[in-house]
Amino acid sequence: MTGSEIRKKFLQFFKERGHAIIPSASLVPENDPTVLFTTAGMHPLVPYLLGEPHPGGKRLASVQKCVRMQDIDEVGDNRHDTFFEMLGNWSLGDYFKKETIEWSFEFLTGKKWLGIPAEKIYVSVFAGDDDAPKDEESIRIWQELYGRAGIKATVADAKKPDIGSGARIYPYGKEKNWWGPAGETGPCGPDTEMFVDTGQRHDPSFGAACHPACDCGRFIEIWNDVFMEYRKTAQGKFEPLPQKNVDTGLGLERAAMILQKKEDIFSTDLFAPILDWIKKAAKNSDARAERIVADHVRTAVFMLADGVVPTNLDRGYILRRIIRRAVRYGRNLGFKSLELAGLVPVVIELYGDVYPELASQREKILNELKKEEKKFEQTLSRGLREFERLAESSSATEIISGKDAFNLFQSYGFPLEMTAELSRERGRGVDEKEFWKNFEEHQGKSRAAAGVFKGGLADHTAEVTRLHTATHLLHRALKNILGEHVTQKGSNITADRLRFDFSHPQKMTPDQIAEVEAMVNRVIQEDLPVRFEEMTPAEAKSTDAVGYFQDKYAQLGGNLKVYLVGNEQRGYFSKEICGGPHVTHTGELGSFKIVKEEAVAAGIRRIKAVVV
């Protein structure tokens, strides 16, 4: 079964069960300040999981492109990658555990669907702790389903999980079977995960006994059903949620690996043409390097197609790191300068029909990739010399200081990870903590850029909500002062500041900046009401509301929320399609200040602003 057939079957299965199929959102989250990239299918749905009505209804399904960086060091083994596609289904306060688990099992094992033999499937459930009880309900549902398939499903001892016990259902604690918000508070709950037994022999270096969550590679985690039934309060208590949601995620690459009976994801049809190209072009063979190059170039192509460009900050830094790492491993394989760009058409050919943005951005992807490789080359050899000098000057017990590592980054474009890898190869370490101290001092940035970002829900604190409303006011003020050509290209909010990217050909003058600031502050002083109306996409369009989601959701035919600032008598200051939340009066914002205006790409400006 090809990757493309798996995608189709999944969407068909859930469509037949009353789900609206929603398109993949961008890899760049539009309204979630807690993450740099979309890391799960649930990300674009955060406002709806928090209770906003979704225009598609209460049952949704999607194939979502995702990026996760936390496993970057693992890429090269049989199952880790940095870009992946997640097949997901959601219930927004509609069905709960019974239907979710039954459907997961039916889709995995049904002859018409994936047809994986039930006896190869093992599951995990939440074991219970002081905050929430053991998930007995999921256990009962699984036992019933296994029973129907003629399999007696016993529950493993949570303290001593061992596949040798013959158990099917494995209880684990929060570290494995709980999905919660990246922030401190918000909706969360137990999950149940499905694993496929590959039949490989257990590797005892991972522990004496094998069990589904063992990392030795025998069991492949394929699907995760999350039951969002609690809310974690600021006091650290877990309260039952009034609206219970379901959020599931099935990894496409892993499903393909199992169904195509491959030992690794790189041999599936989702990767094979990329690997074939690499093997043919390479002078040397090295399986790990080949996989790293394949994974990283694929990820870079998708990031570039979604408008990320290599820089030294945030997302741009991650992309830079990915490209430079691909180039470096490419060199180990004997690739010449700019040869890697030859992979771009291979990736586009492979994914272009599902993700048309790849083909439409072809030129840009190629140019940016080549430009970044050139930049890297210019400093690589000088940087390597500098690194060797540093490595030789310290004795074998010493580590490269954070300051030196930062200097390599700042002057020679060496991502920290590259310095760390080169050091490891020479039996040394790097003071990473000190590197980040230097990094933050110089960039005023957070560790987020290091790839320390988990999936999870945004918590809508008061600060974030105020900045969310301030973003609408800024957007409108920019249009009023610079012209209607201004359109939103990106938005990111943390508790401390808003960041807004928009199209505009020149740098803003100091006068324009002052005017925009003054206009937003006037609206704040007038203490205008902020409320929303639900409208059909056609109605929203006729009110001239601005908004990102318009095109995407129009096809679903459901209602949209339009946030209105001001009142009808005097005319609304701003109308914008958005999931919210927002303050109720502009006076709550205090005072608005633009702290920075800069270029992010040709024709795209970025404003950072605060409310105090």
Are residues 292 and 325 in contact, defined by beta-carbon separation less than 8 angstroms? yes
From 161-169, 246-254, 275-283, 558-566, span contacting ligand SER (CB under 6 A): 246-254
Residue 288 one-letter amino acid: R
**Smaller CB separation from ligand SER, 86 or 309:** 86
Region of 29 on the Ramachandran plot (φ > 0 left; ψ -120 to 50 alpha; else beta): beta
Tell me, residue by residue from 454 to 483, as one string, x for binding to ligand SER by CB under 6 A and - for no binding: -x----------------------------
We find the least distance from the C-beta atom of residue 180 to ligand SER, in angstroms, to be 10
Considering only the stretches 14-22, 39-47, 51-59, 542-550, report the one whose residues sit in contact with ligand SER under the rule CB under 6 A.
39-47
40 binds ligand SER (CB under 6 A): yes
Q: Locate the DSSP E strands across 252-343.
A: none
Residue 179 is a binding residue for ligand SER (CB under 6 A): yes
Nearest distance, CB of residue 27 and ligand SER, angstroms: 15
Residues 512-531 that bind ligand SER (CB under 6 A): none
Q: Pick from 20, 42, 114, 297 the residue near ligand SER by CB under 6 A.
A: 42
Does 45 sit near ligand SER (CB under 6 A)? no
For residue 457, the tally of other CB atoms under 10 A from its CB is 25
Interface with ligand SER, residue 249, by CB under 6 A: yes
Q: How far is the CB of 153 from ligand SER (least distance, A)?
A: 23
Cis peptide before 53 (omega within 30 of 0): no
Q: How far apart are CA 505 and CA 486, in angstroms?
A: 9
**Beta-strand pair 186-197/121-126:** antiparallel
By CB under 6 A, residue 189 contacts ligand SER? no
DSSP 150: T
Structure tokens at 260: 């195509």
Q: Does 88 bind ligand SER (CB under 6 A)?
A: yes
DSSP string, 486-550: --EEEEEE-SS-EEEEEE-SSPPPHHHHHHHHHHHHHHHHTT-BEEEEEE-HHHHHHTT-B-SSH
Assigned token pair, 66 = 């995702």
- C-beta of 510: minimal distance to ligand SER in Å? 45
Eight-class DSSP state of 375: H
Asked if 220 is part of the footprint of ligand SER (rule: CB under 6 A), the reply reads: no
Instruction: For the CB of residue 107, give the shortest distance to ligand SER in the complex, in Å.
Output: 14
Please check whether residue 609 is in contact with residue 498, taking contact to mean a CB–CB distance below 8 angstroms: yes
Query: How many residues belong to the site for ligand SER (CB under 6 A)?
Result: 11
Closest residue to ligand SER, Cβ-based? 249
Q: How many CB atoms lie within 10 A of CB 286?
A: 15
Q: Which of 226, 380, 474, 516 binds ligand SER (CB under 6 A)?
A: 226
Smallest gap, in angstroms, from Cβ of residue 272 to ligand SER? 26
Say whether 574 sits in a helix, a strand or coil: strand
Q: Is 273 exposed, middle or buried (0-12, 13-18, 19+ CB in 10 A)?
A: middle
CA distances from 579 to 61, 177, 253, 258, 553 (A): 19, 29, 31, 38, 12
Q: Is 68 in a helix, a strand, or coil?
A: coil
How far is the C-alpha of 307 from the C-alpha of 450, rounded, in Å?
20
C-beta of 135 vs 404, nearer to ligand SER? 135
Distance CA 335, CA 328 (A): 9
Instruction: For the CB of residue 246, give the shortest distance to ligand SER in the complex, in Å.
Output: 9
Provide the token pair at 106.
Answer: 């039916």
**What's the min distance (Å) between Cβ of 241 and ligand SER?**
16
Least separation, in Å, of the C-beta of 355 and ligand SER? 20
Instruction: Classify 10 as helix, strand or coil.
Output: helix
Position 3 contacts ligand SER (CB under 6 A): no
- Alpha carbon 274 to its chain's center: 23
Q: Is 27 in the site for ligand SER (CB under 6 A)?
A: no
Residues in region 394-433 near ligand SER by CB under 6 A: none
Q: Is 37 in the site for ligand SER (CB under 6 A)?
A: no
Query: Nearer Cβ to ligand SER, position 194 or 478?
Result: 194
Q: Minimum Å distance from CB 248 to ligand SER? A: 5
Give the Cα separation of 554 and 552 in Å (integer): 6
Smallest distance, Å, CB 223 to ligand SER?
9
- Hey, which bits of 68-200 come out as E strands? 83-92, 121-126, 169-172, 178-179, 186-197
**465 in helix, strand or coil?**
helix
Distance (Å, whole) CA 245 – CA 136: 18
Length, in residues, of the chain:
612
**Choice between 45 and 256, CB closer to ligand SER:** 45
Q: Which residue number, 184 or 353, has a Cβ lying nearer to ligand SER?
A: 184
Stretch that binds ligand SER, among 38-46, 227-235, 339-347, 355-363 (CB under 6 A): 38-46
Of residues 132 and 182, the one with the C-beta less far from ligand SER? 182
Q: Confirm or reject binding of residue 224 to ligand SER (CB under 6 A).
A: yes
Which CB atom, from 84 or from 122, has the smaller least distance to ligand SER? 84
Closest to ligand SER by CB, 88 vs 383, is: 88
Give the residue, chosen from 41, 76, 190, 415, that forms a contact with ligand SER under the rule CB under 6 A: 41
Binding residues (CB under 6 A) for ligand SER: these are 40-42, 88, 179, 224, 226, 247-249, 455
